[in-house]
Structure 1
Amino acid sequence: MSSVYHDSISTIINAVRAALSEQPVLRGISAAKQTSFALDLALIALGCRCAWLVDVTVVADAEQVYDSLLRTLRQFPICSNPRPNNPFFVNKTKWRASVDEVHFVHLGRDPQLLPRPPLDVLAALQALTYNPPTLPPGLEPHTIIPLAGVLLGYPVAYVPDADGAFLAQASLDVFACSVRAPTWEHPFLKFSCPAVLAATHPELAPTRIAASLKTRFEPRLQELGLGLVVKHSTEIVDRVAL
């Protein structure tokens, strides 16, 4: 284990756990969830990824709770953008993920690769340059879902159609990434891409997507003594939850 890994990850995890203990709502979550929460937040603070969507717990009054948490952690470059049931934590210096690295897939009757990023997604990203970063109110799913994909670092971001039918019984290339240390492995991100698109768009072939993930995330993780594990599978589901 490198000293950089030890000093950076361990210091931030300990700081987050201490901050969690000061929040009555968060103090009650299990030790395992606190560790997971702290590690995900540490990866944001260290710039390993741009954003994290909280998925280990649901908190009432998320804006107040998380703002208070971040005031305790003000030494780290993290901000939050709580939305109902979907609070984000964002690295204030690293959130500008390159939209050019993201493939936007429109989910209509048949999935289609869009030739360029949706304008409303670009406008929402522009709003995040304000101080403090903000998002326009009332964003619709066709904007907030691909925006989340960009911020979370997905190479493929879905743009849903209004009819709400999402890839029922479609064959999907599913990518599950995790961060690996000498003594543990932690989920990093998981996303999918309609398998049918790879035939006409070679950049969406599983090997190309896996390579793009390693190019994007491995350098920073390796600086911290961490590895990136990318696993690919093909799945068919009744409906994709977005």
Structure 2
Amino acid sequence: MTRRVALVTGGSRGIGAAVAERLAAEGNDVVITYARAADQAAAVVGRIEAAGGRGLAVPAEATDAAALVAAVERAVQHFGRLDIVVNNAGIAPYGPLAEVTLEEVDRTLAIHARASYVVSQAAARHLGEGGRIISIGSSLIERVPYPGWTLYSMSKAALIGLTKGLARDLGPRGITANLVNPGSTDTEMNPADSPEADGERAFTALGRYLTPDDVAATVAHLAGEGGRNITGATITVDAGTTA
């Protein structure tokens, strides 16, 4: 069987790293991008290769459109094809509405919305029948339970339109596009032992944080044969935060 090739943006840590390693465990070759954490990216590739897979880390700042397109082309050149794209790179801007600067707005939209569009557009030139584009959003698209998250929620909400548009544009070619919205997930950006963690757990129906592997499992399903008839969909994995 021909091995498929996956590209995961922001794959050096957190959800991105878990997705990269899960897709590799499913038998895919995996390319990850990273902005600054070269050592963490190398560690992810090392774990993939130690488990018998093939991986590659490519530096690409999410605000640099040319670098993102180059990363897509590098993936194709290195492994000969591209089958799965996971738009994962992200940041978590937080603060009072009146204090958010225009520079923060532009940077956040560039990383969450523009980068996902650029990568998807570049990847679409290479994806064939059975191709997958999966974006990582947030449960804060669907419910914002506390103040300070307006910019983040707005920028992630753009992925709904991207996903539905891609589903229509690429559906005739047998390519699916879907959005996964995680809730509070135990990562460096939002550790489960932070002072705010108990408050976040209180908003969930199950009373617990997700692990990055929980999100990766849903991505792997969408990327696999089981996801072949799911497109234009938003799947929320949030322990019941939006219930």
Normalising by structure 1, report the TM-score. 0.33
The structure where helix makes up a greater share of residues is 2
Question: Over alpha carbons, which structure has the higher Rg?
Answer: 1
